[in-house]
Amino acid sequence: MTGGFGGIGQALARWMVDHGARHIAILSRNGCMTTENRRTVAYMESRGAKVYAFTADVTNKTSLERTLNHLRENPLIPALKGIFHLAVVIDNSNVLDINESQLERALAAKSRGALNLHELTHEDGLDIFFLLSSVAATWENPEQCGYVAANSFLDALAEHRHRQGLPALSVQLDAVRGVGFLEGKTKATEIVKRKGFLTLHINEVLRMMPRLLKARVIAVITLGNMVPDNVQSADDTCGQLLNHLPDGHRHCQLDEQNFQLQCDST
């Protein structure tokens, strides 16, 4: 799991252990550094899991390969079966004045990291290649154009892997509350809300995980808490994405069993 010591990463790592995962490698540039990180590892270990914390940069292919080989060569660690790519560095550069180094910074952890993982795990017989993308990839955000591009890359990589017969799911996630880089950042969540998105609590995201992990034919899915009429009024082009929904329908929610939008007209 890359970025596993971040906000969503720690919640997901705990969830995975609660649902039976017994060997989890967590990779980030700073490793298990904070008290919160240590608490997460202690929790996971108390539930019977082995946690391997690596200090590595996912953008550095050599260092990533070394980390993967370390896991592969340890006879006490079972074969690598799942990748969860959550690493991110946020760059708030506007599309009108972003420079090359800002764009490179925004793309590095997400896109370069995902490509490295894709290239280095071809022979591993993975069951899961899970990428955390963002609703920003579909609903745009000119004030974070590098972030939008990085997430679009993840979505395209998932499609590419499907065409190669490889597992992949890129989840375009709504703004999350409870944990993560948006927690407490009211300005950023206001921007998302203006686009018609309400936030998702981390527990709502985790509740969807079993369905997401079973999805085999879908390469990209949006997991959002949205008010369709607001999304439409925010931007006509984006609104067209929801035009198939009947007029007057105000409330939509994802049917967790069938991955379908359920609408009512209240």
Ligand X SMILES: NC(=O)c1ccc[n+]([C@@H]2O[C@H](COP(=O)([O-])OP(=O)(O)OC[C@H]3O[C@@H](n4cnc5c(N)ncnc54)[C@H](OP(=O)(O)O)[C@@H]3O)[C@@H](O)[C@H]2O)c1
- Binding residues vs ligand X (CB under 6 A): 2-3, 5-9, 27-30, 57-59, 86-89, 109, 113, 132, 134, 173, 175-176, 180-182
Q: What's the CA gap between 3 and 91, in Å, rounded?
A: 16
- How far apart are CB 75 and ligand X at their closest, in Å? 26
Q: Are 200 and 8 in contact (CB under 8 A)?
A: no
- How far apart are CB 146 and ligand X at their closest, in Å? 12
Q: Closer to ligand X at the Cβ: 17 or 87?
A: 87
Q: Closer to ligand X at the Cβ: 8 or 49?
A: 8
From the number of C-beta atoms within 10 Å of its C-beta (0-12, 13-18, 19+), residue 142 rates as exposed
Q: What's the CA gap between 256 and 204, in Å, rounded?
A: 11
Q: What is the DSSP letter of 199?
A: P
Q: Closer to ligand X at the Cβ: 6 or 146?
A: 6
Q: Closer to ligand X at the Cβ: 193 or 249?
A: 193
Smallest Cα–Cα separation from 128: which of 161, 160, 154?
Answer: 161
Q: Closer to ligand X at the Cβ: 49 or 87?
A: 87
- How far apart are CB 189 and ligand X at their closest, in Å? 8
What's the 3-state SS for 15-46?
Answer: HHHHCCCCEEEEEECCCCCCHHHHHHHHHHHH
Residue number with the shortest CB distance to ligand X?
A: 6
Q: Dihedral (C-alpha) 119, 120, 123, 128: value to the nearest 10 degrees?
A: -80
Residue 159 neighbours by CB distance under 10 Å: 12
- How far apart are CB 113 and ligand X at their closest, in Å? 6
Task: Determine the residue type at 169.
Answer: L
- How far apart are CB 201 and ligand X at their closest, in Å? 11
- How far apart are CB 38 and ligand X at their closest, in Å? 14
Q: Closer to ligand X at the Cβ: 49 or 134?
A: 134
